[in-house]
Amino acid sequence: MFELLIPFFLLVLLLLLLSIIWRIKARKYISSSTVASAYDAWTQDKLLERLWGEHIHLGYYPSGKNIDFRKAKIKFVHELVKWSGLDKLPKGSRILDVGCGIGGSSRILAESYGFNVTGITISPAQVKRARELTPNGLNCHFQVMDALNLKFEEGSFDAVWSVEAGAHMNDKTRFADEMLRILRPDGYLALADWNSRDLEAYPPSFFEKLVLKQLLEQWVHPNFISINDFGNILRSNKNSSGRVIAENWNSYTNPSWYDSIIEGIRRPFAILSLGPFAILKSIREIPTILLMNWAFRKGLMEFGVYKCRG
């Protein structure tokens, strides 16, 4: 019994030490500007792009199949398109990519499905890099915009796409309001996000509270809510038909966490080519990635996917 407790106590000790180190320069959410600053820094140092490629989101791993980390990210986009019904839309349909990052998903939506895509992010550096990576002639455009204050008319888009952006929103209800407001009647919403389990029904232990605190403070997250809670926000929205389906894709996405670390071993020169500070920066992210893996594997965190009609 004692031997089984050793890893647990070591992990707690590691968390306490890291909490001291991380507080020197934690990435706490203060406002939307802190989210923008964090993503500007991640984009400008190029470390995340070198290791994760054009897609700064988790991948999709079919059950029982080995798949390359970067290919898994591309597969995720196609799987979410198919699951959400976006593949039923005709070419030329207007799509808004909320939290587009450096444009990986936007480019697939434009190139593979013929959509007219507008990508928005709160990070000016991401918009700049997305434009640099987008070939001339591809119907894909990017601009800086706050997802909680979309500068589009009601019903402007045939579909809204958002992957792993909602966890950075301090007002989940307004986030849903804005996306559904600019979605045309009977349009499609396809969304994926990091969620916690229902923390009211299943309160976190002391250790789980420590983990959640680090996950919030290190990657500029104001709060997490459950899949069911966000699904209910979508269902109760005045611009929603109420036809909301939500699922937990943990089993498909969890391998991404370990793979994101292994990628640094596979591509050591991708880090070394950026200089000695890149090594320190990459090492800094490993504890948070390991905590993410633990939290998702244990069900403290859940990977929610949502599809909804306007």
pLDDT digit string, tens, across residues 165-216: 999 999 999 999 999 999 999 999 999 999 999 999 999 999 999 999 999 9
Nearest CA to 243 out of 307, 160, 158 is that of: 307
Q: How far apart are CA 259 and CA 240, in angstroms?
A: 37
What are the E-state strand segments in the chain? Answer: 94-98, 116-121, 140-144, 157-163, 183-196, 244-248, 301-309
Beta strand ranges found along 134-254 (DSSP E): 140-144, 157-163, 183-196, 244-248
**Sign of the CA dihedral running 289, 295, 299, 305:** negative
Give me Rg for the CA atoms of the chain.
19
Task: Considering only the C-alpha atoms of the chain, give the largest distance between any 2 of them, rounded to a whole number of Å.
Answer: 63
pLDDT value at 2 more than 50: no
Checking if the pLDDT of 224 tops 70, the result is yes
Give 267: exposed, middle or buried? Use CB within 10 Å, 0-12, 13-18, 19+.
middle
**Measured between alpha carbons, how far is 170 from 175 in angstroms, rounded to an integer?**
9
Q: Give residue 22's pLDDT.
A: 47
Domain ranges of the chain: 26-309
CATH architecture of 26-309: 3-Layer(aba) Sandwich (3.40)
The model's pTM is: 0.91
CB 148 within 8 A of CB 169: yes
Decide if pLDDT at 155 tops 70. Answer: yes
The single residue listed with the structure tokens 């292994």 is 262
